[in-house]
Amino acid sequence: MELVSSSSDIENVIPQGVQFSPDGLCVLTSVRDELRLYNTSTVGSGAWKTALTCKGGDVVQSFDWYPHMNSQQPGTCCFVGTSRDQPVHLYDAYTGGIRATYSPYNTDRDEPDSPLVVKFDPTGSRVICGGFQTDRYLQVFDISRPGKDSLCCYKLGKTKRSQDGQKGLVSSICCASSSPHILAVGTYSPGSIYIYDTRVAGDEEVAVVLHGGVAVVGHGKKVKRFASDDDDNIFSKAKAQWFQKRAQTGVTQLEFCNSDYTLLSASRKSDAVLNWDVRMMTDMVNATRPICGVKSYAANHNSNQRLQFHVQDDRVYIGDRDNTVKIYDITSGDLMETIEMGDVVNGVSVHSDFMAVSLGERAFAEEEMVCRGSIELWRRKPGAI
């Protein structure tokens, strides 16, 4: 990889996360209470500056591109974002204006609620919101129906303090691209990963976990987990505990890959990105031991900072606290390449031969705390992997 361009307008702040638009012509990041958009078409024409700024009202917590975005069709050029104590906004990627607002509402408390995570489903017709402080649920909005009336509400448990269902603050949501009704949901402490099928409805929970209530990484005495009749011949108990321990520190990102047969997870205070083979769910209902992962990709994530990874084809690109981006082969687990950066990499996104990264950390200089950060664009060298 070779450095193509670096931002020149980020001073004393740290950008958090980065995401290429689906057509690869724009790069989106969050800087404190702003969403900033960069055009890749301006690379090489001088300093790389922000093309568009959207004010969030407070610290930006999550953002996501419309999955069918195409710069040649202005109607598709939009993204969602949510800030602390704010509703979810649908922003226009050309003007920066707000096209629509979706306001999650807690009917039991009769008050608005602000999500920690927002995510488009693969069809682009729905926005999924999670990570509410007041209760355990997901709210789903039809993008054509702004307001506080959600399309549906998926309960993760009877109440916030009940022992049933998935506990912890929702921190990550991802949808299976081939099956939009399949959701993977991760939580902070207690860290967990559950798989949901939104087609299945129950009397107490709108969304029922696949196969009778099983978890990839679960918690509590009553939770059902995956296992096999001859589990000892496949995975050792120590290996299962190794994977579980690293996920239970708090899940920060989930991504399906390999035709949705594989689920990758990153966690805070962990030393690896984990690979879970979710095909092993099919006949393992009456289980007492949790499934363990099948691969791990070493990375220094030993902090509470959210460090991002990105999957492209059969490679996973992992941002690292040791000022590098590590590229692993997903299938074999082999480290293919290590790219040296100038600072801690908290976000990475890849499109075609280009890679965008967000860098930054807090440092002390002459007894004063200084924040340094930047957005960089890298390009794959001819003949490289």
Q: What is the CATH number of domain 24-305?
A: 2.130.10.10
pLDDT in tens, 169-188: 999 999 988 888 888 899 98
The CA distance from 31 to 277, in Å, is 35
Give the start-to-end residue ranges of the domains of the chain. Answer: 1-23+307-385, 24-305
Residue 316 main-chain phi, psi, to 5 deg: -125, 130
| DSSP assignment string, 147-162 | BS--SEEEESSSSTT-
Mean pLDDT of 139-155: 90
CATH of 1-23+307-385, one of 2.60.40, 3.30.365, 3.30.1490, 2.40.128: 2.40.128
pLDDT of 385 higher than 60: no
Q: How does pLDDT run across 285-307, given as a tens digit for each residue?
A: 444 444 567 899 999 988 888 88
Q: How many H helices and E strands in the chain? A: 3, 32
In DSSP terms, 253 is beta-bridged to 266
Residue type, 307: L
Query: What pLDDT, in 10s, does the model give residues 105-127?
Result: 887 778 888 999 999 999 999 99
Phi first, then psi, for residue 340 (nearest 5°) are -80, 135
Select the more confidently predicted residue: 133 or 252: 252
